[in-house]
A = this chain, B = another copy of it.
C-alpha cells in the first residue's frame, strides 16, 4: 500500500496525503476523505522512502553490550522516556564481546542513516574506538570514560571510597578486595582504586590488605574467595567489585565458617544492589545506581550534540547511593 494508492482512493493527490501525514495545508473535507482511506486500507507509510528523501531518520542508534545486562533495561527506559517527548526514536542493537560483531552492528546502524549513537558499554571497547570516532554522527558513551568522546558514567571511584568508609573497618582490620577483571575500567580499576583510597584514609596499612582478581560470575567469586580463605588468613571484611561476585564470596564464607554470623566470618560488601542478594543475604553494604537517570542524561546529551552540531565532547558523572550499611 502506497501514498499514491491512498490518494487515488481518496480522490486527491499524493501530495495531499503527505500533507495529511505531516500536517500541512489541507481542507477539512479532504482531511476526512484521506483519513477514511487510510483507515480502510491500513496504509503504513514507508519510513525508508521518507528517510531517503529527508536524509535524516530522527532515530538514534543504541548499542547495548552484554556486560551491562543489569543496567540495560533501566538505561533504555530512560533514553526512550526523554526522546519520547521530542520526536526522536531509538533503534536498539545488542552486541556480545566480539569485535567483528560490534563493527557489523555499527555499520548496519550507520547504513540506516541514524542521527547519532549511544553506546552503552562498560566493557573495553574493541577496535580502539576508531570505529566510533570515524562515525559521521555524534556518539555518547555510557558506562565509562573514553578520551575525546562524550560520556555519561557513574562515579565508581567515589562510590567505592564511601563504601570503604562505611564498613566499620579500623586501622588494625584485615581487609580483602575482590577485583573484577582489570580490563573493565568502571567495574575494575575505578572501584578498586576508590576502595583502596577509602581504606587508606581509615589508616589501614597496605600490608593488611589483600587484593584478588576474579571474573564476573558467581562461580568466579566463589573460587577466588574459597582460595583466599583456604590459608590461615582471617579477614574482617571482604569487599567485592560486584554483587554477583559477592554472592560467590558469601557461598565460600558459609562453607568455610558454617554461617555468615560466625565470629570469625568476614563481613561482605558488594556493588550494584541486586534485590535478590539484598533480601537473602542482607543487610549487605552495596552501591545503588539510578540507571534510568543515566539513560535520561545520555539522551539529553545526545540531543545537545545533535543541536549544536559541534564535536566538542562533553562528559557527565552521575552520583550513587550506598545502601545496606
Q: How far is the CA of A51 from the CA of B47 in the complex (A)?
A: 10
Q: In this assembly, does A9 line the interface, its C-beta being within 8 Å of a C-beta of chain B? A: no
- A44:B277 contact, CB within 8 angstroms: no
Interface residues of A in 208-249 (CB under 8 A from B): 217-218, 222, 243-244, 247-248
- B275:A274 contact, CB within 8 angstroms: no
In this complex, the interface size class of chain A, counting residues with CB under 8 Å from chain B, is 35 or more
Q: In this assembly, does A22 line the interface, its C-beta being within 8 Å of a C-beta of chain B? A: no
Q: For A282, what are the chain B residues with a Cβ–Cβ distance below 8 Å?
A: 251
Q: How far is the CA of A163 from the CA of B196 in the complex (A)?
A: 46
Q: Give the oligomeric copy count.
A: 2
Q: Is the interface of A mostly helix, strand, loop or mixed?
A: helix
Instruction: Known contacts A92-B94, A244-B275; decide if A107 and B280 are in contact (CB<8 Å).
Output: no
- B108:A47 contact, CB within 8 angstroms: yes
Q: In this assembly, does A276 line the interface, its C-beta being within 8 Å of a C-beta of chain B? A: yes
Q: How far is the CA of A283 from the CA of B115 in the complex (A)?
A: 49
Out of B69, B80, B217, name the residue touching A94 (CB < 8 Å). B80
Q: In this assembly, does A134 line the interface, its C-beta being within 8 Å of a C-beta of chain B? A: yes
Out of B77, B89, B111, B279, name the residue touching A46 (CB < 8 Å). B111
